Amino acid sequence: MSRENRRPVALVTGAARRIGAVIARTLHAAGYDLALHCRRSRAELETLVAELEAQRADSTLALQADLADAATLPALIDATVARFGRLDALVNNASTFYPTPLGTVTARQWDELFAANARAPLFLAQAAATHLKRSHGSIVNLTDIYAERPLHEHAVYGMSKAALAMATRALAQELAPGVRVNAVAPGAILWPEEGKREAERAALLSRIPLGRTGTPEDVAAAVLWLLRDATYVTGQTIRVDGGRMLGP
């Protein structure tokens, strides 16, 4: 049931693991109540919820949905508002990533990558807009530095993130002045779960001016700043990439 809530409320998609979980912990520590979404990682989400509830009771809501199903997206917003009575922030973190070498690309891969990485954030923003205007809230989209430069054998992924970057700017224009919309574009933060050869890691690190990978905490700090503190910033993408985009 809806209840009066004086704390700000954020919905974070893809919150169960990796960067999404760190964003959730960072926002929670900053005083946000959270609606936390997952697709398949329900066990990890329940563990995160238990951790956060132990720190502050009655502060979280677990949600599970396939963001590729556009019909389910408004229900995530409705459930959040029904639970907390308000919505102050939307963090579109959930993402799908895999290679699509040219010559093997399928329509199914296109649909899957664009549904998760571009369509879902747009329709969630549309469903959330009325509530965010009421609270003078904010949206942060997680894009990628490869929205700006191609990653070998990942054309469709890069195109989907480029679409999200454009959506960020378009939403910032259309939802102003009541809602700010920005993006964070991570660089090398976490190695892929399937691993990466040591030589490939060394080659990548040699192209990063700061000489190291970033951390999920680096990304989460940028998200928090855009949501809470950057009150005169909208339509912008903050690169959290150690300077990677400065070089070849």
| Total H helices, total E strands in the chain | 8, 7
For position 174, which CATH number holds?
3.40.50.720
Indicate the pLDDT class of residue 224, thresholds 50, 70 and 90.
very high
- Which domain covers residue 89, as residue numbers? 9-240
Strands 138-142 and 180-186 come out as parallel
pLDDT in tens, 105-124: 999 999 999 999 999 999 99
User: 3-class DSSP state for residue 244?
Assistant: helix
215 in a structural domain: yes
pLDDT in tens, 57-66: 999 999 999 9
Indicate the pLDDT class of residue 200, thresholds 50, 70 and 90.
confident
180 in a structural domain: yes
The count of structural domains within the chain is: 1
Q: Is 95 exposed, middle or buried (0-12, 13-18, 19+ CB in 10 A)?
A: buried
3 in a structural domain: no
114 in a structural domain: yes
3-state helix, strand, coil in the chain (%, to 5): 50, 15, 40
178 in a structural domain: yes
Gap between the Cα atoms of 65 and 69, Å rounded: 8
Q: Write the CA distances from 236 to 127, 141, 180, 220, 239, integer angstroms.
A: 21, 10, 10, 16, 10
Q: Is 232 exposed, middle or buried (0-12, 13-18, 19+ CB in 10 A)?
A: exposed
pLDDT in tens, 65-75: 999 999 999 99
62 in a structural domain: yes
246 in a structural domain: no
Mean pLDDT of the region 72-91: 98
245 in a structural domain: no
pTM given for the model: 0.94
**Active-site residue, 157 included:** yes
Among 32, 146, 157, 232, the active-site one is: 157
